[in-house]
Amino acid sequence: MAGKSDKIKANEHVLFYYNRTKKWLVKITKNAKLHTHIGIISHADAIGKEYGSRLTTNKDKYVYLLRPTTYDYTMKLQHSTQIVYPKESGYMASRMGIQSGQTIVEIGTGSGALTTFLASIVKPRGRVHTFDVDADFMAIAEKNIARAGMTKYVIMNKMDIRKSRTVPVADADAAVIDLGDPWTALPQVRRMLKGSAPMVAVCPTMNQLEKLVSELVANEFTDIECSEQILRQIEAREGKTRHSFQGIGHTAYLCFARKAYFGTKRRRTAKDPD
């Protein structure tokens, strides 16, 4: 059933999967060996095997050979900044209706985890325009994006877009802000977005949410909605199904909004709807 493309070749990335907490994302290199607590794995042994098959270590344990998804790339990302995790990035995509072909603006590239995920959706015709001021982050992000094969769908801009007189993007379909002070980017984000287009900001604290919401109103955004996404693992086993003992803690709150035009005749008052 499986086509030829399912055989692992040298230089492909493979996820060696032992269990949920023990897994390794490697680039298959002919003579390389991976040393783990469950034994040694020779890369060469994986070559020619079907994706999904098992490989036995020298300690008689086995790993599954999995084709990495963007999820795997994210979870195994090299990062020097707090990244946006799948529990948030997935909801961003569904809440904003991100789809293939769109032009997305991202303020704050960070380590490129979210950039990669967004690019994987908007490709092949859409683009993610990402902005960051930090050259070191940009270098790491570039590597991460390349590893996941998304380089040609991402335009990286090493600049402080907030201080720029002109903006390099127009009619963007959506925007993401991942900055400590997301409100500072609102005027430029607004300039780059299409009318009624959605945006989201990633906010680690409640104070950021609060300040951002005020600034969104001041910048003529509507449909403002803040939320948090909680992911709870469930251990489903015959006769002893329960939630995981391991709690999943806070990562970030999200604040969504859409670009509007409030007009000039009438000022918004407290009695107006959201």
- What residue numbers does the annotated binding site for S-adenosyl-L-methionine cover? 111-114, 132, 160, 178
Smallest gap from residue 66 Cβ to its own copies (A): 4
Among 33, 125, 136, 181, binds its own copies (CB under 8 A): 125
The count of chain residues that interact with its own copies, using the rule CB under 8 A, is: 106
**Is 45 a residue that touches its own copies (CB under 8 A)?**
no
Distance in angstroms (rounded) separating the CA atoms of residues 132 and 137: 8
Among 10, 159, 196, 218, binds its own copies (CB under 8 A): 196
Binding positions for its own copies, 166-185, rule CB under 8 A: 170-171
| C-alpha 37: how far from chain center | 30
Binding positions for its own copies, 56-95, rule CB under 8 A: 61, 64-74, 86-87, 89-95
**Is 197 a residue that touches its own copies (CB under 8 A)?**
yes
Smallest gap from residue 29 Cβ to its own copies (A): 20
CA dihedral 161, 150, 251, 213 (to 10 degrees): 40
**Is 239 a residue that touches its own copies (CB under 8 A)?**
yes
Distance in angstroms (rounded) separating the CA atoms of residues 55 and 52: 10
Closest CB to its own copies among residues 101, 136:
101
* CA quadruple 181, 185, 187, 189: dihedral sign: negative
Smallest gap from residue 230 Cβ to its own copies (A): 4
DSSP state of 13: E
| C-alpha 145: how far from chain center | 11
Give 42: exposed, middle or buried? Use CB within 10 Å, 0-12, 13-18, 19+.
middle
DSSP state of 161: G
Smallest gap from residue 200 Cβ to its own copies (A): 12
